[in-house]
């Protein structure tokens, strides 16, 4: 009797494993094979287009980054390996521009998340004029970034007759090289004003996933408005917050228009970003090798940021924690 128990227990324990094994080796039906083949055929055109417009430029940029390719000296073109990357990464200009980019990205995205959440809650809860509120709040996002940047430059620049220094009684130029703090402030304000509606739009879609019955039940149980927001609304909105933060962080890291225009056509090195550095190397100094190395490094930074967000905030569906 005592010898049979382990045998039976082992047989019972092995049964589910054998079942899983059978399920794992379940042959694919002809219908499933046909559907899989049809899926690949439908995706093929999009994959070919993506390779043509995305993979090829990235691959060619990486190839150029391994060359000494300067259009001013075309006869000196040769393969130099990773020397361009070493030149960029040992340059103080790259790291100062990287710091400028991170400052603009972190501060602007943080402010946009808070303001975007408030705007999304207002648009979600507005009982009267909901359509008008949503339309008016999205107007800044419909304005071209270059136009918005010029508007902020003309508003804050004293030589251009800006009205804000006049209102504040300030005589010096707020966006010149001698005042980097106010120059950063103007760039961040332009970014926040322009893209907060985009953040609010994404968060508004997340708010639609929160059941009103759940919030009402929590309210009946005595939960305060802050407890309902922090312990129910925010966890259920986690995927939408991830998407909004990811999109805006990547976009803010690649900032070019606002910093270039408010920096008076890229002549203010105090607010120069990595995208402006790559632009100057490629189009102003005609150094395709170094410019391509900067572009590849920006691409790697974007990939790292995306991985940090996906690993840090997760990709779980609403309600999975």
Distance in angstroms (rounded) separating the CA atoms of residues 87 and 293: 9
Average pLDDT, the chain: 84
Q: What share of the chain is helix, strand, coil (3-state, %, to 5)?
A: 75, 0, 25
Tokens of 33: 């094979």
Residue 210 in 3-state DSSP? Answer: coil
User: Which comes out higher in pLDDT, residue 22 or 282?
Assistant: 282
Strands 67-68 and 78-79: antiparallel
Within 8 A by CB and 6+ apart from 321, the residues are 235
Residues 115-127 have pLDDT tens digits of 999 989 888 876 6
Distance in angstroms (rounded) separating the CA atoms of residues 174 and 279: 25
Task: Give CA 6 to chain center in angstroms.
Answer: 57
Tally of CB atoms within 10 A around 29: 9
Q: What is the pLDDT of residue 23?
A: 52
303 and 103 in contact (C-beta within 8 Å)?
A: no
> What average pLDDT does this structure show over 109-116?
94
291 and 85 in contact (C-beta within 8 Å)?
A: no
Structure pTM? 0.78
Residues 179-190 have pLDDT tens digits of 888 899 999 999
Cα R_g (the chain), whole angstroms: 27
Distance in angstroms (rounded) separating the CA atoms of residues 266 and 97: 12
Residues 44-100 have pLDDT tens digits of 998 888 888 888 888 999 999 999 988 888 888 889 889 999 999 999 999 999 999
Share of the chain above pLDDT 70, in %: 88
264 and 185 in contact (C-beta within 8 Å)?
A: no
User: Which comes out higher in pLDDT, residue 120 or 10?
Assistant: 120
Distance in angstroms (rounded) separating the CA atoms of residues 153 and 141: 18
């Amino acid at each position: 009797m005592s010898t049979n128990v382990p045998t039976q227990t082992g047989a019972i324990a092995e049964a589910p494993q054998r079942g899983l094994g059978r399920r794992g080796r379940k042959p694919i039906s002809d219908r499933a094979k046909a559907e899989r083949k049809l899926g690949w055929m439908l995706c093929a055109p999009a994959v070919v287009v993506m390779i043509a417009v995305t993979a090829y430029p990235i691959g060619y940029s990486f190839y150029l980054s391994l060359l000494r390719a300067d259009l001013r000296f075309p006869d000196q073109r040769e393969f130099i390996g990773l020397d361009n990357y070493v030149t960029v990464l040992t340059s103080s200009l790259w790291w100062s521009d990287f710091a400028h980019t991170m400052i603009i990205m972190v501060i602007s995205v943080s402010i946009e998340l808070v303001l975007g959440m408030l705007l999304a809650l207002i648009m979600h809860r507005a009982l009267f004029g909901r359509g008008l509120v949503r339309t008016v709040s999205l107007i800044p996002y419909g304005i071209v970034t270059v136009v918005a940047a010029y508007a902020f430059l003309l508003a804050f620049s004293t030589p251009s007759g800006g009205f804000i220094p006049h209102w504040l009684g300030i005589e010096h130029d707020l966006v010149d090289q001698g005042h980097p703090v106010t120059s950063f402030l103007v760039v961040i304000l332009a970014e926040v004003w322009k893209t907060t509606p985009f953040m609010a739009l994404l968060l508004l879609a997340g708010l639609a996933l929160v059941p009103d019955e759940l919030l009402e039940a929590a309210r009946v149980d005595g939960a305060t408005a802050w407890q309902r927001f922090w312990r129910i609304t925010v966890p259920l909105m986690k995927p939408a917050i991830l998407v909004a933060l990811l999109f805006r962080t990547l976009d803010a890291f690649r900032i070019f228009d606002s910093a270039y225009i408010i920096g008076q056509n890229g002549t203010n090195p105090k607010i120069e970003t990595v995208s402006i550095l790559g632009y100057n190397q490629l189009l102003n100094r005609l150094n395709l090798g170094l410019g391509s190395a900067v572009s590849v490094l920006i691409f790697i930074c974007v990939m790292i940021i995306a991985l940090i967000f996906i690993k840090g905030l997760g990709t779980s569906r609403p309600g999975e924690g």
